[in-house]
Amino acid sequence: MNQGQEKFFSFIMERIAKEHEETAKALLSENFAKQQAGTFTQEDVVAFQQKMLSLLRPECVEEVKAITQNYRA
């Protein structure tokens, strides 16, 4: 994991509902691996956002949407 990924990981994990932590870790790891392999697509970005938003604590959803909305593969 590079430094940017570590920061993003920490940011997201601080906002994940306790019961979804393991799922979120696996999803983040999968996406970071795709980024490092150069296979992370715009479709992956959209799928990631949809999945990740469902794992967040409700009060964090809008904040994370705002941060990830402009992210591109």
Tens digits of residue pLDDT in 4-38: 999 999 999 999 999 999 999 999 999 999 999 99
Degrees to nearest 5, angle at CA 22 with 17 and 23: 80
55: which DSSP letter?
Answer: T
pLDDT reported for residue 56: 97
Tens digits of residue pLDDT in 35-69: 999 999 989 988 988 999 999 999 999 998 888 77
Question: How is the chain split into domains, by residue range?
Answer: 3-68
Q: Against a cut of 0.75, is the pTM above it? A: yes
SS3 16: strand
Start-to-end CA span in the chain (Å): 16
Whole-angstrom Cα Rg for the chain: 11
pLDDT reported for residue 10: 96
